[in-house]
């Protein structure tokens, strides 16, 4: 008997979907309103916002708003129409690519209409069925989805564990010698959940021993790390060892779109083989002109990154001084690890938002181990010392409530725990 395709999804909403009846509209799919900034409106009240990746404060910067408005008035949101290969190509797209390549110290670059699907296509294009992929087990979902398209062998290595990577490289080498293929290693410049930089310098050093190419997703590193803001590779002094560098405009650039940078022959190949770009619309001119202005500000206004890091250091040092566990983050991403259940976490976040006017992201199982609550904060250049001090005081208060069982009691009365279902 053939089952109804929808029978499964009606019974099993997935690890996050099963919380929808209790969480949707507040804990998931919340509505933050007002101009993008350090303070926004949530359910009609002002909150300190630690949940957006507007690292450099460009999202609502007056110079950016002016250029975006002028580009919208001149071009609208449609131009150019069609894929780059067919009718969506312009000299401004080429100009942005040249400037991006120079900024990240690569020979060539190619614009992508969206970061997630761009990464999926990059992986798909770079490997054949005879090649082997070795990637960090904590890689972003876009990397995992790209790897799933691969028809050949793939291995994961323990998160940021160079010894584990080397063991898997040995396996990959043995297999590649049989298949006649090559090896692609994939990692991230910054892991966006826990805030650790990828071990790029150590991975690049392994090239002296093993023959592989390195693809790095540096979405959170671009604009925030390195002397010039060119990312985690620049920060670690190994940018030249990154064979294919990827980043998105959705973080420091506060926009939509992405790019990939590499040697010219690699980019020339990708231009003709990235299916998500060959068969989808070009990045609109409105976003291209906006990206050129944003990139110019990254280059010419180092004070934006300086202010960002002033706030990062104040927040992270304040948390550590008060005994909070922020793990081993060495980037702007600021996680705080607490012990508790998902219902306790929901009550805690409700308390933060309603009684302390603090809006931040909550991460729980299955993203992290059961029994751990990760409160993730993204400091930006727009935050103030008042924001930071108020947040530190609130953290001390919620820790006491978590430890003395206040949140557990409230959760037992108000929340149905479906985590075991």
Instruction: Enter the tokens of residue 102.
Output: 């120079």
The whole-number pLDDT of residue 421 equals 52
Cβ within 8 Å of residue 142, ≥6 positions away: 115, 116, 117, 119, 120, 217
Give the residue-averaged pLDDT of 249-264: 97
Give the residue-averaged pLDDT of 86-109: 97
| Spatial distance between the Cα atoms of 91 and 93, rounded to a whole number of angstroms | 5
Give pLDDT tens digits for 334-378.
999 998 888 898 899 999 999 999 999 888 777 777 888 899 999
Give pLDDT tens digits for 207-239.
999 999 999 999 999 999 999 999 999 999 999
The whole-number pLDDT of residue 416 equals 52
What is the bridge-based pairing of β-strands 334-339 and 372-377?
antiparallel
Instruction: Enter the tokens of residue 73.
Output: 């008035």
Find out if CATH 3.40.640.10 is the number for domain 62-300: yes
- Fold match between 7-55+302-414 and 62-300? no
- pLDDT beyond 90 at 22: no
- pLDDT beyond 70 at 415: no
- pLDDT beyond 80 at 418: no
Give the residue-averaged pLDDT of 376-398: 97
Percent of the chain at pLDDT exceeding 90: 87
State how far Cα 336 lies from the chain centre.
18
DSSP letters, 317-377, are HHHHHTT-B-TT--SS-EEEEEE--HHHHHHHHHHHHHHS-EE-EEE-TTTS-TTEEEEEE
- pLDDT beyond 80 at 405: yes
Fold that domain 7-55+302-414 belongs to in CATH: 3.90.1150
The whole-number pLDDT of residue 419 equals 55
Give pLDDT tens digits for 282-340.
999 999 999 999 999 999 999 999 999 999 999 999 999 999 999 999 999 999 999 88
Give the residue-averaged pLDDT of 138-143: 95
Domain ranges in the chain? 7-55+302-414, 62-300
Give the residue-averaged pLDDT of 132-157: 96
- pLDDT beyond 70 at 392: yes
Q: Output the average pLDDT for the chain.
A: 94
């Amino acid at each position: 008997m053939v089952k109804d395709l929808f029978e499964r999804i009606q019974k099993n909403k997935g690890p996050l979907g099963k919380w929808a009846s209790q969480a949707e509209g507040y804990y998931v799919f919340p509505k933050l309103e007002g101009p993008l900034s350090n303070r926004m409106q949530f359910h009609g009240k002002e909150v300190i916002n630690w949940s957006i990746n507007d690292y450099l404060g460009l999202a609502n910067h007056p110079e950016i708003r002016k250029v975006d408005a002028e580009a919208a008035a001149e071009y609208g949101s449609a131009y150019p129409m069609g894929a780059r290969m067919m009718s969506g190509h312009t000299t401004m797209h080429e100009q942005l690519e040249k400037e991006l390549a120079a900024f990240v110290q690569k020979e060539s670059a190619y614009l992508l209409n969206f970061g997630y699907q761009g990464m999926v296509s990059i992986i798909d294009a770079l490997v054949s069925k005879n090649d082997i992929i070795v990637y960090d087990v904590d890689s972003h979902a876009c990397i995992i989805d790209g790897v799933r398209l691969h028809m050949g062998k793939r291995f994961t290595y323990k998160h940021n564990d160079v010894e584990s990577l080397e063991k898997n490289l040995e396996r990959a080498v043995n297999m590649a010698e049989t298949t006649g293929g090559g090896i692609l290693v994939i990692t991230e410049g910054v892991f966006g959940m826990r805030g650790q930089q990828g071990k790029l310098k150590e991975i690049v050093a392994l090239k002296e021993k093993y023959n592989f190419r390195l693809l790095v997703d540096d979405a959170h590193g671009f604009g925030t790390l390195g002397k010039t803001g060119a990312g985690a590779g620049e920060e670690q002094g190994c940018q030249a060892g990154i064979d294919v560098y990827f980043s998105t405009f959705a973080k420091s650039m506060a926009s939509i779109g992405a790019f990939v940078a590499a040697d010219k022959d690699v980019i020339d190949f990708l231009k003709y083989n990235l299916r998500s770009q060959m068969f989808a619309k070009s990045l609109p001119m409105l976003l291209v002109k906006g990206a050129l202005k944003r990139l110019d500000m990254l280059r010419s206004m180092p004070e934006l990154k300086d202010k960002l890091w002033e706030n990062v250091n104040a927040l992270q040092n304040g948390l550590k001084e008060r005994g909070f566990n922020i793990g081993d983050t060495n980037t702007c991403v600021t996680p705080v690890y607490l012990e508790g259940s998902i219902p306790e976490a929901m009550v805690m976040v409700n308390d933060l938002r309603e009684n302390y006017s603090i809006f931040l992201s909550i991460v729980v199982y299955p993203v992290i181990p059961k029994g751990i609550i990760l409160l993730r904060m993204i400091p930006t250049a727009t935050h103030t010392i008042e924001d930071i001090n108020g947040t530190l005081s609130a953290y001390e208060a919620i820790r006491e409530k978590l430890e003395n069982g206040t949140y557990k009691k409230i959760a037992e009365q108000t929340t149905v725990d479906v985590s075991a279902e």
